[in-house]
Amino acid sequence: MPRIYNHLSLADRETINRLRDAKVPVARIAVELGRHPATIYRELRRNFFYDDEAWFRGYFGRVAHRKAASRRLRGGKVMRNPALVAYIVDRLAQCWSPEQIAGHLRRDRGRGLRVCHETIYQFVYSSRGRELGLWNHLPRQRKVRRERYARKPRGLNIPPANTIAQRPRQIAERVEFGHWEGDLIAFRKDFGKANLTSLIERCSRYVVLARNPSRHSKGVMEGIERHLHTLPPALRQSITFDRGTEFAAFATLQIRLGMQSYFCKPSAPWQKGSVENSNGRIRRFLPLDTDISHLTDADLAALTDRLNRTPRKCLGFRTPAEVLYEQIAAHRAA
């Protein structure tokens, strides 16, 4: 069972004060308080009081308790030193970052001031720092600080069987129809959360565009299912995504469409180059500043049809629609 550590209380510190005045050894004090001797040694070292002007020194229970409590204040080390407060406020106003301030203080030993950048951040977001509006001088100017180490890890927890290294060779060599690539096409946040799912069949280069109300994975997967479920099973065998969280519900495609999902390596979207190339073509007609709420379903269908009826050099100047429709007809005849 793990030990439970309790901070020394004011009563504990007054007991230490009384026993030290009585010349009681540290080991005996530790037994008296039920503490490890190292705890008592550390307490005496950290909270020893020394006055430069009066040459007054010693361990005093109430003074030690105040010193210990001040260390636990947000930005406490800064607040205890007016010169340090003035220095930090001045440098922040000059657009220095907390890390730059801390690093410069380490080099400028003549000032006798030293503080880490995390303590400066704690001071900035303390009640005193908020009164001064110091967060306005930070590079990101966040009024409320994010919790430390709280950023969610990027990418999905991809099972080994779903990594692109496990993708069969015939998919990479484009010798078999029914293997797709998917991506999300986003637009400026000013226009809302709506976006498009971009799909392309690797052999025919046939493009499908699906409208999504948000980036939630469930809605994205439902859009893919809605557009691909009418195809023969042989023409919807697999799909390759990047590691965006909008594809987290990829398992539903296996359940509902029988499509195996594969994922690029982290930070390697070029591994699904067909859809990346297709997105570049789509951006010619739907740039980043497009408000797709004004785009009707008929407009979207017309754009998709235009892309699929444009000849492609890689297809011998045939169109993606011709190539895919031939495959559909062949599977229906069989």
Instruction: Report the C-alpha gap between 260 and 161 in whole angstroms.
Output: 10
Query: Do 196 and 125 fall into the same domain?
Result: no
- Condensed to tens digits (0 to 9), the pLDDT of residues 1-47 reads 456 668 899 999 999 999 988 999 999 999 999 999 999 999 998 88
114 versus 209: which is more confidently predicted? 209
Query: Do 324 and 261 fall into the same domain?
Result: yes
57 versus 183: which is more confidently predicted? 183
Query: Do 50 and 85 fall into the same domain?
Result: no
In a domain, 326, yes or no: yes
Q: What percent of the chain has pLDDT over 90?
A: 61
End-to-end CA distance of the chain: 68
In a domain, 150, yes or no: no
CA distances from 148 to 75, 139, 140, 143, 145 (A): 15, 17, 15, 15, 8
pLDDT computed for residue 229 by the predictor: 94
pLDDT computed for residue 81 by the predictor: 81
- The answer to whether 88 and 102 are in contact (CB under 8 A) is no
Token digits for 207? 């493009």
- Condensed to tens digits (0 to 9), the pLDDT of residues 270-304 reads 999 999 999 999 999 999 999 999 999 999 999 99
CATH number of the domain encompassing residue 324: 3.30.420.10
Q: Looking at 52-56, 61-65, 240-244, 323-327, which range is the least confident one?
A: 52-56
pLDDT computed for residue 95 by the predictor: 85
In a domain, 148, yes or no: no
Q: Which domain holds residue 28?
A: 10-70
> The pTM is what?
0.58
Instruction: Report the C-alpha gap between 150 and 163 in whole angstroms.
Output: 27
In a domain, 144, yes or no: no
Instruction: Report the C-alpha gap between 274 and 20 in whole angstroms.
Output: 77
Query: Do 100 and 19 fall into the same domain?
Result: no
pLDDT computed for residue 3 by the predictor: 60
pLDDT computed for residue 1 by the predictor: 43
CATH number of the domain encompassing residue 43: 1.10.10
pLDDT computed for residue 148 by the predictor: 62
**Total count of domains within the chain:** 3
Q: Looking at 114-118, 123-127, 139-143, 175-179, which range is the least confident one?
A: 139-143
In a domain, 211, yes or no: yes
pLDDT computed for residue 79 by the predictor: 77
In a domain, 268, yes or no: yes
- Condensed to tens digits (0 to 9), the pLDDT of residues 160-192 reads 889 999 999 999 999 999 999 999 999 998 889
Mean pLDDT value across residues 324-332: 92
Query: Do 283 and 219 fall into the same domain?
Result: yes
Query: Do 201 and 100 fall into the same domain?
Result: no
Q: What percent of the chain has pLDDT over 70?
A: 91
Crossing angle (nearest 10°) for helices 117-124 and 82-93: 90
